[in-house]
Structure 1
Amino acid sequence: MATTLQMIDAIVARLKAKLPTLAVEHFPEQPSDYWLNDAVGALLVSYPGSRFDATVDTAAVVQPRRIQFSVTIVARQLNGRDGAIDVLDQVRASLVGFRPPDCLKLAAVSETFLGEEAGLWQYALDLSSASVIVEESAPNDARPLTRVQYEPDEEHS
């Protein structure tokens, strides 16, 4: 089963392949210290969290998981080619229907204008997918059944 980081890495790789003119990175750990080095803009991929449904009644814990991802678009212009709005459309087209490992296809949830600061325009595209988590269980060390022998019941013969 893929980890959350592997899912995020798959989204980063997809965006790098589809939008090679933009910097694509994991969301910075210190957003206030983030510095845009790219001439056009950047895509910052983050994981806002997951929601879990009730467990499925089995011998092991099996739970549906609704996973949320977010891509923050940072662009040096708002309108026009490679502006924030144009890039937002390109990101949505690149990710809606994309399947991260061990997930269903991504679906768009919302888009939000985050604002402008120091000439950098920002939008967030929120997406979701579904997966299933299954508990890790200890291996079964019992001897496997390798032979079955039929012995007739003498009372009913």
Structure 2
Amino acid sequence: MNTLKILHATVARLQEKLPALDCELYPDDPESYRLNHDTGALLVSYSNADFGSNSAIDCVMQEQPVRVVITLVFRELNTATGAIQALDETRRALAGFRPEGCHAPYVLVSEKCLGFASGVWMFALVVQARTMFVQDDPPEPEGIPASLYEEEE
């Protein structure tokens, strides 16, 4: 599983389904971010993962529910091109979409208004897909004598 690939696939999906909006990764320096689009932008970021229990005996293999946040930044709220309409469209674009590397598609987790500041409305939509984390290079089994594997003649 590669988190950046999931984020890039999410941005590509939003660009495909909502071409009238700016869709990009959340900025590295959010304090300096300025909305340059006339209407609004969708900013995609990784939130967190709550790993499941290890399902293997001899290596690390855990389910990884991957949470992604779409931050909506809009100049208007209750218009056909405002934040509320964009929330509806963003939900429809992502619910059921399965990014490459995930074995379960996005489900909706939560959304909330982050407020109004500097002339823009901000909302956060959280979606979650599931993937598996499997350790690199699992170790050879230990503690089992090689003689158990030898065939008798």
Instruction: Report the structure number with the largest CA radius of gyration.
Output: 1
Counterpart of 1:147 in structure 2 is none
Alpha-carbon contact 2:71-2:122 (below 8 Å) kept: yes
Aligned to 2:89: 90
Where in structure 2 are the equivalents of 1:55-74 lying within 5 Å?
55-74=54-73
Tell me the alpha carbon deviations over residues 93-139 of structure 1, each in whole angstroms, 9 at most, x when there is no partner.
00000001121100000010011112211111001111111111169
Alignment partners' CA distance in 2, 1:136 and 1:46: 25
Corresponding residue of 1:50: 49
- Separation in 2 of the partners of 1:73 and 1:100? 20
Letter in 2 for 1:28: P
Q: Secondary structure at the match of 2:90?
A: helix
Alpha-carbon distance in 2 for matches of 1:5, 1:68? 12
Question: Which residue in 2 is equivalent to 1:107?
Answer: 107
TM-score when normalising by structure 2: 0.87
Alpha-carbon offset, residue 46 of structure 1? 0.5
Tell me the TM-score normalized by structure 1: 0.85
SS of residue paired to 1:58: coil
Q: 1:3 matched to which residue of 2?
A: 2
Give the Cα–Cα distance (whole angstroms) in 1 for the partners of residues 56 and 78 of structure 2.
52
CA distance in 1, matches of 2:32, 2:43: 14
Query: What's the offset of the Cα at 1:17?
Result: 0.4
Task: State percent identity of aligned pairs.
Answer: 39
1:128 aligns with 128
**Deviation of residue 79 (structure 1)?**
0.8
**Contact 2:107–2:128 (CA<8 Å) still a contact in 1?**
yes
Letter in 2 for 1:121: W
The match for 1:118 is 118
Unpaired segments ≥5 residues, structure 1 = 141-149
- Which one is further off, 50-59 or 89-98? 50-59
State the Cα distance separating 1:23 from its structure 2 match. Answer: 0.5
| Corresponding pairs, count | 142
Question: Cα deviation per residue 1:72-93 (whole Å; 9 max; x = unaligned)?
Answer: 0011100111100000100000
Tell me which amino acid in the other structure corresponds to 1:70: V
The alignment status of 1:81 with 2:80, answered yes or no, reads yes
Aligned-partner Cα distance in 2 for 1:124–1:31: 14
Structure 2 unaligned spans of 5+: 141-150
